[in-house]
């Protein structure tokens, strides 16, 4: 069936993988990619789909209520997959308001626009909000986040995402808006902006620069290959029960320091360095304020109800990721010659 789907944040890391999957898998869907092209948005991520007949791009900031309303007056959407967000915890510590504006107000602008456009005719309509496991807070050594774990966000980033999740739920209960939410663990893979741990470390190892590890590197994250997240988003968009939340994760917990040692081993091999050479770059720096100790996500509901499971083992995914960054030097150079350089100098100056 012909459908028009608005994907927000499609020029970013995860969004670009979702856009690619939907454009290629559903030639009968019209995919509209809406993105403000902030420092994290990069149309280089989508050169392979840019010319496809079922793809279009529109530059709008979701905090601009009038522009969002105008778009929804001009175009009718069957579905919205909402990924646009400020996404980096460290930036949220230095500039919380940017996160409040985009993640909370921007989300409400989209919810209102969808509500007004659909005007109670919700058949075959979907508002799918992409969120994070960070809304659940921080775990001790035991346990996992399930869909019923109470929200306990602890950074401005996770608090703004938690607020947006709550508002999406409120629109389901108050206005019957046909919403779905998913909360995913840490993603890794091609096209991730090099402020995040894995691409930052790959880039620094390659350039023989220190690899900054916050605190003692004992914090634990659950890592999922971005393509597996995109597959989960596809399954959830098409099959989820309305009003439901699904956790998405890799069942793949690593301390930061073990992960970086694994990455150093792979990089030694790929760069023809002696074993142990890259690990010499590991540098412990001042910890992140309020650094959550551990995230672990139970995705059994998604596996049981919708049949999704991760496709890749972490070592294989990490190696593919390293291969991608080494083969796409120009992508990285285009980023590191811009905004990222001044961010990097500020962020790591005193550490
Ligand atoms: P990203 O920072 O790489 O991309 C965000 C995109 O949103 C960029 O293209 C940016 O230009 C766009 N954007 C930002 N502000 C905007 C605005 N005001 N208007 C329009 N566009 C705007 O982020 P990501 O890592 O791809 O994350 C995408 C979504 O997935 C986010 O909602 C994030 O909270 C969620 N998420 C991310 C992870 C992860 O590990 N990266 C894990 C779970 C959930
Ligand atoms: P990050 O990629 O920023 O994701 P998140 O904070 O959303 O989990 O960080 C992943 C982990 O790596 C987190 O525990 C913080 C840590 N980290 C470092 O040790 N050094 C760094 O330079 C960065 C960016 C992150």
What pLDDT is stored for residue 3 in this prediction? 96
Does 267 sit in the ligand 1 pocket, CB within 6 Å? no
The residues assigned a catalytic role are 133-134, 157
> Candidates 99, 103, 184, 214: which one to mutate for ligand 2, based on the most atoms within 8 Å of Cβ?
214
213 part of a folded domain: no
The single residue listed with the structure tokens 């050594």 is 141
186: closest CA among 269, 38, 294, 43?
A: 294
What pLDDT is stored for residue 337 in this prediction? 86
167 part of a folded domain: yes
φ/ψ of 31, rounded to 5, equals -105, 120
289 part of a folded domain: no
**Rounded to an integer, what distance in angstroms lies between the CA atom of residue 43 and that of residue 52?**
14
325-340 residue pLDDT tens: 999 999 999 898 877 7
Q: What is the CATH number of the domain that holds 91?
A: 3.40.50.720
Calculated CA dihedral for residues 97, 101, 107, 108, nearest 10 degrees: 110
**Rounded to an integer, what distance in angstroms lies between the CA atom of residue 266 and that of residue 181?**
35
142 part of a folded domain: yes
Ligand 2, atom 12: closest residue by C-alpha: 197
120-126 mean pLDDT: 97
Q: Identify the bridge partners of residue 58 per DSSP, sorted by sequence position.
A: 34
In the predicted model, is pLDDT for residue 1 greater than 80?
no
Q: Classify residue 34 by burial, with Cβ atoms within 10 Å: 0-12, 13-18, 19+.
A: buried
148-204 residue pLDDT tens: 999 999 999 999 999 999 999 999 999 999 999 999 999 999 999 999 999 999 999
Does 89 sit in the ligand 2 pocket, CB within 6 Å? yes
Does 186 sit in the ligand 1 pocket, CB within 6 Å? yes
φ/ψ of 248, rounded to 5, equals -125, 130
CB atoms within 10 A of CB 94: 13
Q: Do 212 and 321 form a contact (C-beta atoms < 8 A)?
A: no
Q: Which atom of ligand 1 is nearest to the CA of 134?
A: 43
Pick the residue with more confidence: 351 or 16? Answer: 16
Q: How far is the CA of 196 from the centre of ligand 2 (A)?
A: 6
What pLDDT is stored for residue 328 in this prediction? 96
76 part of a folded domain: yes
Does 99 sit in the ligand 1 pocket, CB within 6 Å? no
Does 132 sit in the ligand 1 pocket, CB within 6 Å? yes
In the predicted model, is pLDDT for residue 225 greater than 90?
yes
- Of the pLDDT bands very low, low, confident and very high (cuts 50, 70, 90), residue 343 is confident
81-110 mean pLDDT: 98
Q: Which atom of ligand 2 is nearest to the CA of 201?
A: 22
309 part of a folded domain: no
300 part of a folded domain: no
Ligand 2, atom 14: closest residue by C-alpha: 219
Give the SS3 label for residue 223. Answer: strand
Q: Which atom of ligand 1 is nearest to the CA of 82?
A: 32
Segment (H or E) for 66:
helix 65-74
**Rounded to an integer, what distance in angstroms lies between the CA atom of residue 167 and that of residue 196?**
27
69 part of a folded domain: yes
The single residue listed with the structure tokens 């009038």 is 66
3-36 residue pLDDT tens: 999 999 999 999 999 999 999 999 999 999 999 9
The count of domains in the chain is 1
Does 103 sit in the ligand 1 pocket, CB within 6 Å? no
Mean pLDDT of the chain: 96
Residue 162 sits in which domain range? 3-188+223-248
Angle 224-156-182 (CA atoms, 0-180°, nearest 5)? 35
What pLDDT is stored for residue 108 in this prediction? 99
In the predicted model, is pLDDT for residue 309 greater than 80?
yes
Tell me the CA distances in angstroms from 25 to 18, 31, 231, one per residue in order. 10, 11, 11
In the predicted model, is pLDDT for residue 260 greater than 80?
yes
Ligand 2, atom 10: closest residue by C-alpha: 197
Q: What is the DSSP secondary-structure string of 269-335?
A: HHHTPPTTTGGGGEEEEPPPTT---B--B--HHHHHHH-----S-HHHHHHHHHHHHHHTHHHHHHH
């Amino acid at each position: 069936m012909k459908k028009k789907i608005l994907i927000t944040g499609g020029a970013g890391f995860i969004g670009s993988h979702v856009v690619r999957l939907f454009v290629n898998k559903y030639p009968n869907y019209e995919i509209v990619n809406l993105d403000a092209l902030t420092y994290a948005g990069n149309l280089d991520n989508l050169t392979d789909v840019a010319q496809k007949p079922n793809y279009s791009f529109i530059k709008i900031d979701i905090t601009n209520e009038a522009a969002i309303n105008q778009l929804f007056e001009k175009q009718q959407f069957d579905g919205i997959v909402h990924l646009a967000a400020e996404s980096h915890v460290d930036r949220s510590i230095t500039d919380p308001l940017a996160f409040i504006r985009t993640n909370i107000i921007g989300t409400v602008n989209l919810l209102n626009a969808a509500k007004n456009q659909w005007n109670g005719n919700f058949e075959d309509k979907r508002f799918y909000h992409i969120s994070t496991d960070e809304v659940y807070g921080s775990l001790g050594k035991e346990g996992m986040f399930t869909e019923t774990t109470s929200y306990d966000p602890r950074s401005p980033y996770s608090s703004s995402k938690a607020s947006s999740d709550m508002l999406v739920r409120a629109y389901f209960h108050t206005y019957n808006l046909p919403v779905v939410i998913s909360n995913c663990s840490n993603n890794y893979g091609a096209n991730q902006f090099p402020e995040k741990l894995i691409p930052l470390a790959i880039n620094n190892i390659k350039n023989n620069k220190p690899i900054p590890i916050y605190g003692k590197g004992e914090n634990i994250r659950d890592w999922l290959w971005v393509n597996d997240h995109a597959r989960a988003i596809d399954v959830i968009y098409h099959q989820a029960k309305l009003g439901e939340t699904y956790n998405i994760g890799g069942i793949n917990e690593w301390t930061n320091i073990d992960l970086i040692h694994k990455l150093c081993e792979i990089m030694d091999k790929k760069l023809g360095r002696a074993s142990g050479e890259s690990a010499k770059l590991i540098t412990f720096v001042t910890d992140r304020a309020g650094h959550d100790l551990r995230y672990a996500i139970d995705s059994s509901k998604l596996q049981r109800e919708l049949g999704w499971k991760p496709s890749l083992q972490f070592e294989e995914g990490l190696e593919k990721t390293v291969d991608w960054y080494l083969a796409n030097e120009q992508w990285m150079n285009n980023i590191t010659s811009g905004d990222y350089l001044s961010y990097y100098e500020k962020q790591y100056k005193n550490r």
